[in-house]
Structure 1
Amino acid sequence: MSSRLPVLRALLFLLGVGGTQVLATDKSAGTEIDFKYAIIGTALGVAISAGFLALKICMIRRHLSDNDSSDLKNTPQDTILQKKRSPR
């Protein structure tokens, strides 16, 4: 733990120094939200989330259909008939 302490102090120092704003104009240093970029970021996040969700749904459906088709192929009657037809 003692080896991590200087790294933590350096990180906290850099975060404290990096958080200050220096403005060349007479504007206040309040937080301003640029709505154009907020809307673009939100739309991009929603699109990525919807794409991921659609991909997961397609993967689940494919997995379920693969399991259903393999269950139909391996019915007990088919395995009995195959054993009778091809003796070893």
Structure 2
Amino acid sequence: MANSGNVAGGHKANINNPNTSEESKDRSRQALDEMESSGEVGGRDASKNQGNVIGGHKANLKNPNTSEESKQHSKEVLDDMGASE
């Protein structure tokens, strides 16, 4: 893809858009997973400071304004990183 960073950014924006259908969000998640698997873009947390990633996910778990789906994702990421609360 010519500018895979912009494409990935568009998919991420779609996932976070409250006006987008779950079907559309699922397609964007799948597209991002495929882009990451093929090496077109790094993983969602690939180049970020691991401490910041952990802190962000822990904060998400305590945020009353985030969805249960988002909290479940954060819990899974923390479990995968060995940083569960």
State the TM-score, normalizing by the size of structure 2. 0.23
Q: Which has the higher contact order (CA 8 A, sep 6+)?
A: 2
Bigger share in helix: 1
Larger radius of gyration: 1
